[in-house]
Each structure stands twice: as structure tokens, then as C-alpha cells.
Structure 1
């Protein structure tokens, strides 16, 4: 790694930093202040209307608005108090990974026109709500996740509408990042022409920790596990659950609606990062994905593509051939890649162990010694503010005390040069980085404590 950025001071647990870019002759440097603190495992941080941050707290199940100027926190909704379908507490029993996770704000809420804001005052949240059967020590409790649309009235989130309530959940690898596409996407008529939601679902941790006997379904297109889903932001008039499913999804059948109808891409392990970026006039959907011992991935997500898990980890380079990955007891990366036309390799990995190192790596039980960094989020930097930064991916790791910057090529479908790192030496478990619209400020959230997994 090279071209390290610099800054000052110390990060405490569970709060948000704002970092201000200051251009100097010698280096890219930042000043820093604490915006707010005392959060209960903040998971998502969005830049919201009126210079605010919107935050999900994954254990408390609250969504809050934070004033960037004063740090004042306003709870917009307490889901444990308002949603009786949440059938477990955070204080007892097996817990889901993530809990309250993704959050997305409809683009119209950012409009300066009050009539536009009032027409679609929508906010979307994804959270685990049901703890089902708990088969035993090798198969964790079976959880279920929902995505709900709320209305924002200026002070609270009200009038919930359930978009989908059948997404599988687990104690591990729920993923849970939720974003809205950057443009209104075309459809067969005005009702089908709208913004779309994109949501990542992990492989449930199949093959590890409490889920060693859980089935691996990342390659099964009719199970939502290990997928990126694509949904409508509003009903399209097709009726029933089909109201929320775009008819042009790559595996759409619709007679009746089944899990494959929602699927946008498959073969994912744990994609906790998801962001749209525009390079060279082309909008692309980027993901960051936690792999096992090697090859955390940055991917360009495209409809109908297969990203390989649990047949491939990272590139089709054969470095894990013969070893167990997920529930695949003996990987053969080259055979899968050569025989799977829809497969798409990552544009970058963080970081790849060569085949010669795999025996020792597979024998290493301490995951802090693995080359993977446990990617927890990404954001796209597209502003012409910091020299050399436009067209970069910013990636947060749970296992390192820095934020990585990866420079994209001129077309946005590859990476040029090496990684650089910024915002170092404040402790690991960095959960989220969010870029302000002005390109000068960055907001960083850090987990409240250590964990053995993501």
C-alpha cells in the first residue's frame, strides 16, 4: 500500500466522525471532529435532507436523524416499539447478524420543491424481524428479514408498508445493504417506470461458526440466499406481491412470484457494501464482499451474472483449488469459470493469497492473520475536489484501522494502480464511510466493540 493520507486525533467507540479535506502542497490531509456519539451499534449512515445524517442502530432497532451542525439526535422510529412482528429481544437467545441493517431514502425527499417531497416522502428499511426454529449447535436459528417502506413526515417515520417479508436470515452473513438506483428506470408504462431498490443477501454463513451444517444456496437461483435482489420502490399495478417485482429482472417468471423473480445477481458470500457510481458517463453498481481466508472482492454488479461463491473465491486463479470454501469441500475454480458463461470476476481483491501459501493459510485459525480485511461498506467518490480522487472506491474494513481508496480506470470497469489508505490509526471495526455531497466531508462510523465475524 502506498500514498498514505494523514490526519490527527483518536476515534472512540460507536460514533461518527466528520473529516474535512484540506489541500496542502505536500499531501492530502484532513481535520476531524466528532459529530455524535453513544450509538448502539450503528450500521447504516446516510447523508439525509437538510444537512443531516440518518442512522440505523442494528441492536436497538432505531432509525435516527442526526444534525451535523449540533450532533442532536432525533429518533424517527423505534421499530421494537412499533412493529409487533419482531419476536425477539437483543438481550437473550441467538441473535441475527445485523438486525436492523439497510436504509434508503427516496431521491424525491432531497428535492427543494415541497410538492415533490410530499408526493413520495418514502424511506426504506431492511431488518430481521422473526426468529424461527433453532435446530441445534451446528445450524443456527432460522431468521427472516423484511423490507418496509415508511413515510417521513418531517419528525417521524410513519405508515409502514411491507414490500417483502420472506428474505432468509441467519446469525451470520445477512449482508443487508440497501440502495436506490441513480436514475428512474424504464418500464412498459408509467407505473413500471420508476426508481428501483437493490438489496444484498448473504449466504447465511453456511459452512462456518453456528452454521456448519446449513445448506449453501448462493448458486441456487430460486433461493434468495447469496444474492443481490432488485425491487420496485412503488407498486406497479401488477397485483399482489408482483406489485413490488420489476418485470425485467433477469430471472423473472412471475407465474406465480417465487424467489428467483427478485434475483438480480447470484453467487455472493457476504456483500455488505453496495453503491452506485458514475465513471465516464456510465452508471455502475459496485459491491464489496467479504470472502473467507483470501480474496475479499470489489465487484461490478450486472443483471444475471454469477459471482462464483462457493465455487470460486476471488479470481479464477486456482489458488483455493482442492480446499474447502463454504460447503464446497474441494474447489476447482478454473473448471467452474470455464463452464459458467454468466460468471464474472471481481475487478479487485483485498487481498489475494497465492496457491503456495494456501496450506498454511487454511491451517491458520486466527482470522486477524488472514489477508482478507472483512469489507463492511463502500462509497463512491466522484467529486472534482481532492486531486487524484475522482472515480475512486472508498472501502471500510472491520479488521484494519484505515479506509482503503481504490482508483477506478477511465471506464469504471477496472482498477488502476495500488490501494492507498486514509483515516488511519483510530482503531478497527470501521462499519461505514459516507461521502458528503460537497466532496469535502467524510463521515465514518465504527462498531462499539470487537466481533469474531462481520
Structure 2
């Protein structure tokens, strides 16, 4: 297998063209030199906008793009030429949290629309089995029937329920294999780090026969499942540790990419902690190492710190870990582990994690999906894996060996924009590439020198790139209203202006972390321990309001704007602009520290001074005028 890592840092990369340039921030701490594709081979345009965090795209039987919208709970059809939208299903029981909960993966039966009666669509999503104030997410796979006459999905049938569904790393990809089995990926729910650092990581845990008989699926976290199309356990599933279950492979972190190639191989891509994103071939019964191993067993850049077994009194993840917190080196892994085809990227243990611009500058790319390209319409991509990335806003094209079982060198970066690419779809003729973008989050900065930004140029959109096309390039901020979502403005030929973000040198940690509440994902050095701003902290009730607001603004942008919007306009989180609830200082402090409703607690990752600064900023911005939130008021809510 190719170990795709090299020493030496990437030298500065100049942006090429305005719209199809690799971001200038691509010169971050990427530990290998990445070739850029010849983007002028493609024409480009915005196909459609105003999508609510699209997650999965599929070709429908009507030649339309069918996609899931995570936060609105809608399945939407999009015309691949005009961009016209039509909602064909709205879920009334979907639970949507800040970043990974909601309507996720979707697979269409291969015979849909062919008159065989198999007009089925398989959807994975999270529901709330708790209360509004104390939500408890759970995942399920539901089969819907497509009514060609009405163009709608209906007649839901739950195939399996009670699957793990947390506030982080749900993955949720759904595919149907050439064996006519259903494959479903589940992340390890972000256990053992950030706000979940006390939760045990179950990626290596396997169910007992008694648990399987009782339909207790709690150990399915960090796994890829293989199911019959009715949700039952296939007879030929692997028997792991003497037990047969839905589990097809295990030891996964956040496997957001899952796709079969025309060669019959099941490819998977998953997020690493702060290094070692992985591209894998999934084998029956295979162990892929997490959380004991990230990438290869090489003791480089990662060790397993088991915070779930930390002594009482250890309140948060710190580096180095206090005495008594179990630490395991990768070389201590016992048993057989399947190596990845490639990692993005493996670095030495002394790598300066989080020290340049937070998680964006760590040596991961955040692969959000995976797709095999076996055609020849784009000769440069023939026999390769396509990896949309969230952090870099590029489509990585990873060449493969002739038989598709090894990575052939390093990937090439194509089609760069200042966006978070969530999924990729290829037209039937292989010439047109569709990329779906997140509606919010942090990403490499295309313009300016601050490296990371929360300004997305095409939030909640589908971008269309045609090889050898003649439509030209038109990827400015698209659609009325998108400017407000992005926090930027449109400027004639200059394209979207970069919003002056004072917090671009600090970012919410976690490779897939658009949310205000995402927790540290660094393997050895949580980014929350690195100060975002050097502005003066709140000194107490008499602190100067202007000083507190100035100190709170960059912290809010870095840690909260992903959900609440850079202008407090809301999104996955509550609208803060002109919000009378902010008049109550204790309510603001309590909500930040302890959470409320769908907002999880973040107080463990913030000092009282930081809570006071952020609280004061939001209480005196966007039409709010409620005065100082003091350090003493914040401390009183602990």
C-alpha cells in the first residue's frame, strides 16, 4: 500500500485565477507539496443556491439530481441544467443539531422507476428520543416509496432503529452494493474528546450475541454496517469474535465517505483527529484501528489518550495529560489492522498542531465523501478516487494503481473555491462535476492573508464544472440572500469581498467543525488551549464595555458564528440579532456554559473571562444594547 506522506512543508502557492484557484491559504501547514490541476480545462457556474446544508447527492430515475438537506430535513430534486428545485419529501421527525445530526445519507434502489415494483429510496437520519431541553439523538434507516405520478416520496417503513446517533460524527452514508445489500456508516459520535471527552469510545467494541438478539445496537458506533434491504442481518456477514451482526467493519472514526467503484471495491474515507485522514478499502470483518491508531501504526503524530478513564477531578482535556490518564502508543496495538491506502497527512509527533491558524492549518483535509472515477471523459482523472474536502475547498483526485487496490502517489487538487465541499456527483457522460457545499462553517481563505475564514462564497449551493465546456466561469457569491449567510458582499469583477474577520488566526477545533460548539479534535494538543485573541480579558463588573466587545468579537466569530451566523442572523443556532432574551445576563452565561435545548454546553472549553467577553459582545451587537456580562456573573453560573 502506498504510504502517501513526505517530509518538508508546502511552499507558498499563488492563487491562479479568481474563481478556479487553489486558495492562497493552501500554503498552510500541509506537509507535502500538492500538485494543482489545470482548472481552465473546466467551465464553471453556480447551478442552484439556498440549500439547507446538502449532505448526499444521487441521480434520480428522472435524470434529476436528488439530494438530502441535512438541516431542513428535505429531499429535493434539482434540475441539472436549470437548477430548478422541487421538494419531494419533508421529514417531520428529523432531529437537527448544530453540525452532524439531521437528514444524512440516501440510496436509491437500482431498479427504481423501471416498473419492477422496487421504487424504493433508503434514507438515514437522526431523531430525538429525549426531550426538547435534554435532547438525545438516535439514528434510523427508513425506506420510502417513490410515486412517479406525483413525483413524491411516501409510505415510510422503518428498517432499523435505535442506532447510535450523537452530537458529533454520525457519518450516515448510505449505499447499495453490487451484492444488493445496504451499507451504512456510523461515526464514533465524537467520544473521548471535546465536550464528549468523558464518553468511552466504542469504535473497537463489539456486540455480544445477547445484545444482537435483543436488538441492542449501542456498540455499532465507529462501524460500517451491512444490511439486507429489509434491515435484517445478512447470512453471509462476517462473524467477528464469534458473533454475527450487522457489523461489516470496525475501528472507524468519522467515515463520511462510502462508495463502490465499478471495479466492485468498497472505498471509504474518514476524518482523522488532527492528522491522518484516511482513504481505505473496506474488507469484511476488518479492523481499521481507531481510536488506538490514526492512519498507520507508526507512532507518528498521534497517541490514544483515554480521557473516558481519567481520574475524578480531571475536568477537561489538557496537554500533556495529567497523571493517571491512560495513554497508549500506536505500536501497542494488538491484533490485525488493515492499513489505509493513503493518509492526508501523516506527520511527526512534534508537529505544531493548532499553532498556525487552529484546526484549518492542521495536516488534514477533512474528506466529506468519496467517489470512484473510472471513465475516460476527463483523461486526467481516469482510474482515481474523488475526495471533496471541507477544509481546503478543493476536490482531491487520488490516482490509483491499475487494479484499484493501491494509491498511486499523491493526490492532485482541482476546482478550488472558498467553500466547504460536502458531496460530489458525476454526469452519465463523465464530463460534468457537481459539488454540493455546506451552508456555513470554517474553511481556508481564498483572498487575504488570514488563512482561515467563516465566509463561504457559495453557501448551500451546487456548483457545476464541465470539462471542455464553454459556459465560462461565474462562481461569485450566488443568489439574493446568500451574501447575508456568508457575511460577505459581492463586488463586480473582483468577486466576493473578504469580510474583515479579526478571529481568522483562531478557529473552532475539529476537522469537521462548522458548529459553534464543536470541540477540540487535536490528538495531543486541543486547539481550545490556544488563545484565540490577545485582547484584554474582562476584569469584572466595572470593565470597559468597548474593551469587552472588542475582545469578544473574534472569539464569537471563531467559536460561535458557525451556528449563529457572523451577524447573529442564526442558522443551525438561534437568532441573536434583536433578541430580547439576551437582556438577562445570567441566562446568557448559563446558556454558554451549560447549554440549552439543542445547544450543548461549551463552558468546559472556556474560562469565565471568555464567557464574559463573548456574552458582552452578543449582548451589545446587531441591535442589542444590554450592557456588560461580568466575569463574576459568568462564574456564578458554574
| TM class by smaller structure | 0.7 to 0.9
Q: 1:350 corresponds to which residue?
A: 344
Do 1:405 and 1:420's aligned partners in 2 also have CA atoms closer than 8 Å? yes
Count the aligned residue pairs: 390
Task: Find 1:106's aligned residue among 101, 104, 109.
Answer: 109
Using a 3 Å threshold, how does the CA distance of structure 1 residues 449 and 39 change in structure 2: closer, same or farther? same
Do 1:40 and 1:59's aligned partners in 2 also have CA atoms closer than 8 Å? yes
Q: Aligned equivalents of 1:160 and 1:98: distance in 2?
A: 20
Do 1:43 and 1:98's aligned partners in 2 also have CA atoms closer than 8 Å? no
Q: Aligned equivalents of 2:238 and 2:345: distance in 1?
A: 31
Q: Aligned equivalents of 1:167 and 1:273: distance in 2?
A: 19
Q: 1:324 corresponds to which residue?
A: 305
CA drift at 1:420: 0.5
Q: 1:438 corresponds to which residue?
A: 429
TM-score where L is the length of structure 1: 0.79
CA drift at 1:330: 1.8
Is 1:79 the counterpart of 2:91? The answer is yes
Q: Rg: which structure is higher?
A: 2
Q: Aligned equivalents of 1:27 and 1:253: distance in 2?
A: 49
Q: Aligned equivalents of 2:175 and 2:71: distance in 1?
A: 21
Do 2:68 and 2:75's aligned partners in 1 also have CA atoms closer than 8 Å? yes
Is 1:156 the counterpart of 2:152? The answer is yes
CA drift at 1:96: 6.3
Using a 3 Å threshold, how does the CA distance of structure 1 residues 133 and 247 change in structure 2: closer, same or farther? farther
Using a 3 Å threshold, how does the CA distance of structure 1 residues 434 and 5 change in structure 2: closer, same or farther? farther
Q: Does 380-389 or 392-401 show the bigger shift?
A: 380-389
- C-alpha distance after superposition, 1:41-60 (max 9, x if no partner): 11111122232101111110
Is 1:198 the counterpart of 2:210? The answer is no
5+ residue gaps, structure 2, are 1-9, 22-37, 208-218, 310-325, 443-507, 513-638
TM-score where L is the length of structure 2: 0.57
Q: 2:46 corresponds to which residue?
A: 34
Do 2:277 and 2:365's aligned partners in 1 also have CA atoms closer than 8 Å? yes
- C-alpha distance after superposition, 1:61-84 (max 9, x if no partner): 00011111222211111102xx4x
5+ residue gaps, structure 1, are 12-25, 186-194, 235-242
Is 1:312 the counterpart of 2:324? The answer is no
Using a 3 Å threshold, how does the CA distance of structure 1 residues 101 and 221 change in structure 2: closer, same or farther? same
Task: Find 1:269's aligned residue among 253, 267, 281.
Answer: 253
Q: Aligned equivalents of 1:436 and 1:5: distance in 2?
A: 28
CA drift at 1:428: 3.0
Q: 2:227 corresponds to which residue?
A: 231
Using a 3 Å threshold, how does the CA distance of structure 1 residues 7 and 103 change in structure 2: closer, same or farther? farther
Do 1:146 and 1:163's aligned partners in 2 also have CA atoms closer than 8 Å? yes
Q: Secondary structure at the match of 2:115?
A: helix
Q: Secondary structure at the match of 2:368?
A: strand
Q: 1:366 corresponds to which residue?
A: 358
CA drift at 1:270: 0.1
Q: 1:245 corresponds to which residue?
A: 233
Q: Aligned equivalents of 2:131 and 2:138: distance in 1?
A: 11
- C-alpha distance after superposition, 1:325-380 (max 9, x if no partner): 785942321231xx312x101000111112342xx327778211210111111111
Higher strand share: 1
Using a 3 Å threshold, how does the CA distance of structure 1 residues 364 and 303 change in structure 2: closer, same or farther? farther
Higher helix share: 2
Is 1:299 the counterpart of 2:290? The answer is no
Is 1:416 the counterpart of 2:408? The answer is yes
